[in-house]
Structure 1
Amino acid sequence: MNEKLLQYLWNFKIFKSFDFKDVEGNDLEILDFGRWNFDSGPDFLFAKLKTNDLVIAGNIELHVKSSDWIFHKHSGNPEFENIIAHVVFIHDVEIEEFKNKNIPTLELKDYIDENMLSKYETLLQETQFIPCEKIFNPNHFPLNFHEERLLKKLDEKSIEIEESLKRHQNNYEAILFHQLAYAFGLKVNALIFKQLAENIDYKIFSKIRQNQTQLEALLFGICGWIDQQNDEQSQIWKREFEFLKVKYQLPNFYIHPKFSKLRPPNFPTIRLSQLASLYHQNQNLFSKLINAKNTDEIHQIFSKVKASEYWNNRFNFGKISSVNNEKSLTKDFVDLILINAVLPLKYTYHKNIDENIPDEILTLYQSIPPEKNTIIDQWKTLKVNPKSALETQSLLFHHRHFCEKKECLRCGIGIRLMNI
């Protein structure tokens, strides 16, 4: 037993009997179980009970043991002054102030079904992909939370974006650059690429965007890749980087993207060259992406993006590859950029000025094919087959916030499983 479960049982009134008696043997009729409080203070507010022919209104505090009142140092806290009952799973000690004020203590141990406790303990102990994996069946418990979960994920992401906007003088174009860098880095280099972008003054990046060679020189130079290269193009990038350092008084900082665990097309060299190409080709990138009405329009913006010619027969500096082709963006990669960068920023930008933006964003996610990753593969083994990015994003959010944390009592599936 823990407090979270005890609060859940109290809130949903899941007891074998409601003929409650307090620890003194007095009848205790609960007229109103109260409103579950998720902020500081008593667990349930505005409750009402009847005892000794008196009807009392106020708040109720729940604990696993009576002694938790003492351990939690509630005595003397003004937030807990209007307590009308102390509800516990086990009454292990007399609380003197309750006795003096005639505040009843209700012990719930004998009113709770042991099967309920057993089910909950089993869920907490499981170390599977999701706690209820052995008893979960999507045919019996359809997942109807996808839109809600995705909107919560977007709100969570929106808070991060708004914090970034505060740090960067509300410059949405700079934040787009940071978000795109994060997405281009994929899982391995996402944070490293974002750090790179955040350490570049976006005004400088924007000034040189008409010159793709300078864009690449800036990105490659910060990564420290061109110092030791002797081929002609690397020497050009090196000269341009030295010129930019002097002209814009760039600070001496370097980052080190990772190559391990990546397929060659995802090497940071290729992805940064493509990022430079995207900005070189689109002088009004922010407005184009923010005002796009469908995913086809957005895909068109990325359709001609490719790494510079130097990379046609290379994936890394100084190494000629037997593969010789243009390194363009694939549709799957652009979809990831949409999911992880463009649509969250679009949602944040419009949410306070367009009441229809949630529906528009949900529609855009619904038009994108489902993602492919290990978490989604695990859901598929449970016969959950997402049909769009809306559903995969929802499943990723649900797994991270509910399943990994074993928040079964906040999950509609967990609640239903507990009650069968």
Structure 2
Amino acid sequence: MTEKLLQYLWNFKIFNNLNFKDTEGNPIEILDFGRWNKDSGPDFLMAKIKIGNLIHAGNIELHIRSSDWIFHQHSLDSAFDNIILHVVFQDDAEIPGFKEKQIPTLELRHHIDENLLRKYDQLIHDNSFIACENLFEPSKIPFQFHEENILKKLYEKSVSIEEDLEKSKNNFEAILFHQIAYAFGLKVNAHIFKQIAESIDFTTFNKIRQNKTQLEALFFGISDWLENPSDKQTKIWKREFDFLQSKFNLANIKIQPKFLRLRPPNFPTLRLSQLADLYSKHQNIFSKVISAKNSEEIITLFKDITASEYWDEHFNFGKISKVKQEKILSKDFIELITLNAILPVKFTYHKYHHEEISEEMICFYQSLSPEKNTITEGWKKLKVKIENALESQSLIYHFKHFCETKNCLNCGIGFKILKER
């Protein structure tokens, strides 16, 4: 038993029966269990209880043991002056002053199902993919939280985007560029690519964005890959970067991406070249993204994006590959960019301009394919159906916010499992 679990049971009234009596044997009727207080002070506020013919209104404090009241020194804290009931799992001590103030103590030990305590202990100490894995039955779990999870995820992401907006003087085009760069970097280089994008003054970026070679030169130069050009093309990029540095008085910033643990198609050399191609081909990408009414309109923007011809037979500078192949964006990668960059910025823009877009966002997610990663595979092994990105993104969010942190008491699935006898 934990105090958090006891509060949870009290809040949701999960007891064998409500025929409560205080430790003196007097019947107690709980008219209002109170409002759960997650801040400092008594655990439940504005409660009402009836003892005999008298109704008492005030606050309720919960503890594992009665003696915790003494240990926590609540008698010295004026915030606890209006206590009308002390609820404990086990009554192990008489509290000085309670009789004089007529504050009853309610012991809950015999009102709580032992099977529930066993389940909770199993959840907390289980090291499986999710804590409730051995108790989990998909057919009995109502997965009705997907839309709510997606909107929570978007709101949380929009807060971060709005913080970036303040730094960029509300330049949504610049923010979209930073977010797309972040997504192009994938897990290994996401923050590094965003740093590279943010290190470039967006006004300068706009002046050269029609020139793919210059965009590549800018990305590669900032990545510190052009100091020792090894072939004709790298010498061209080096020359262009030196020209841009001189013309725009660029700061000598070096931010080197990583290659470690990446498959060759995801090498930062290719991804930065593809990013340059995207922005050289679409001068008004922001307006297209904001006005898009369905996912296909967004995906179309990325369908013809490819790394420059040099990368057809290279993965890194100066090293010719055995296989010559055009480095285009895969469907999975395009949808990943849409999920991780495009939709959060689109949502933030409409939210920022006081436009309702929640329903439209849900439709976007429903029309995209589900991600494939260790978290979604874990859910699939539990026989959970994942048919689109709405469901996969929701389950990833749920895993990170509830399962990974073992926040079972605030989880809809955990609530369902604990409540079942």
TM superposition score category, shorter chain reference? over 0.9
Alignment pair present for 1:176 and 2:173 = no
Residue correspondences, number: 420
User: Match for 2:392: what amino acid?
Assistant: T
Q: 1:39 to 1:281 in 2, by over 3 A?
A: same
Partners of 1:318 and 1:275 in 2: CA distance? 21
Q: In the TM superposition, what are the counterparts of 1:24-103 in structure 2 within 5 Å?
A: 24-51=24-51, 53-72=53-72, 74-103=74-103
Which has the larger displacement, 87-96 or 276-285?
Answer: 87-96
User: Match for 1:275: what amino acid?
Assistant: L
Structure 2 residue aligned with 1:114: 114
- For residue 401 of structure 1, report the CA deviation from its aligned partner: 0.7
Q: 1:58 to 1:276 in 2, by over 3 A?
A: same
Structure 2 residue aligned with 1:283: 283
Q: In the TM superposition, what are the counterparts of 1:120-131 in structure 2 within 5 Å?
A: 120-131=120-131
Alignment pair present for 1:340 and 2:329 = no
User: Match for 2:310: what amino acid?
Assistant: Y
Q: In the TM superposition, what are the counterparts of 1:15-26 in structure 2 within 5 Å?
A: 15-26=15-26
- For residue 76 of structure 1, report the CA deviation from its aligned partner: 4.7
Structure 1 residue aligned with 2:379: 379
Structure 2 residue aligned with 1:315: 315
Structure 2 residue aligned with 1:327: 327
Q: 1:277 to 1:16 in 2, by over 3 A?
A: same
Tell me if the contact between 1:215 and 1:276 (Cα under 8 Å) persists in the aligned partners. yes
Q: 1:212 to 1:98 in 2, by over 3 A?
A: farther
- For residue 17 of structure 1, report the CA deviation from its aligned partner: 3.3
Partners of 1:399 and 1:296 in 2: CA distance? 29
- For residue 185 of structure 1, report the CA deviation from its aligned partner: 0.7
Tell me if the contact between 1:89 and 1:109 (Cα under 8 Å) persists in the aligned partners. yes
User: Match for 1:368: what amino acid?
Assistant: L
Partners of 1:18 and 1:184 in 2: CA distance? 57
Partners of 1:84 and 1:181 in 2: CA distance? 58
- For residue 82 of structure 1, report the CA deviation from its aligned partner: 2.5
Partners of 2:326 and 2:339 in 1: CA distance? 25
Structure 2 residue aligned with 1:397: 397
Structure 2 residue aligned with 1:4: 4
- For residue 25 of structure 1, report the CA deviation from its aligned partner: 3.9
- For residue 79 of structure 1, report the CA deviation from its aligned partner: 3.9
Partners of 2:351 and 2:200 in 1: CA distance? 28
Query: Which whole-Å deviations, capped at 9, do the CAs of 1:240-268 have from their partners, x for residues lacking one?
Result: 22222233332232222111221111100
- For residue 48 of structure 1, report the CA deviation from its aligned partner: 0.3
Structure 1 residue aligned with 2:105: 105
Q: 1:418 to 1:214 in 2, by over 3 A?
A: same
Q: Is there any run of 5+ residues in structure 1 with no aligned partner, and where? A: none
Query: Which whole-Å deviations, capped at 9, do the CAs of 1:209-234 have from their partners, x for residues lacking one?
Result: 12211111111111111112221111
Query: Which whole-Å deviations, capped at 9, do the CAs of 1:369-393 have from their partners, x for residues lacking one?
Result: 1111111111111111211001100
Q: 1:227 to 1:67 in 2, by over 3 A?
A: farther
Q: 1:178 to 1:77 in 2, by over 3 A?
A: farther
Alignment pair present for 1:208 and 2:204 = no
Which has the larger displacement, 34-43 or 393-402?
Answer: 34-43
Partners of 2:227 and 2:94 in 1: CA distance? 75
Q: Secondary structure at the match of 2:5?
A: helix
Q: 1:355 to 1:41 in 2, by over 3 A?
A: farther
Q: 1:269 to 1:418 in 2, by over 3 A?
A: same
- For residue 122 of structure 1, report the CA deviation from its aligned partner: 0.7
Q: Secondary structure at the match of 1:250?
A: coil
User: Match for 1:220: what amino acid?
Assistant: F
Partners of 2:6 and 2:291 in 1: CA distance? 49
Structure 2 residue aligned with 1:260: 260
Tell me if the contact between 2:28 and 2:49 (Cα under 8 Å) persists in the aligned partners. yes
Alignment pair present for 1:198 and 2:232 = no
Which has the larger displacement, 245-254 or 275-284?
Answer: 245-254
Partners of 1:97 and 1:193 in 2: CA distance? 64
Alignment pair present for 1:250 and 2:250 = yes
- For residue 141 of structure 1, report the CA deviation from its aligned partner: 1.7
Alignment pair present for 1:186 and 2:182 = no
Partners of 2:200 and 2:191 in 1: CA distance? 14
Partners of 1:70 and 1:153 in 2: CA distance? 42
The normalised TM-score by structure 1 is 0.95
User: Match for 1:298: what amino acid?
Assistant: I
Percent of aligned positions that are identical: 62
Partners of 2:251 and 2:352 in 1: CA distance? 37
- For residue 75 of structure 1, report the CA deviation from its aligned partner: 4.6
Which has the larger displacement, 67-76 or 218-227?
Answer: 67-76
Tell me if the contact between 2:230 and 2:317 (Cα under 8 Å) persists in the aligned partners. no
RMSD (CA atoms): 1.9
Tell me if the contact between 1:351 and 1:358 (Cα under 8 Å) persists in the aligned partners. no
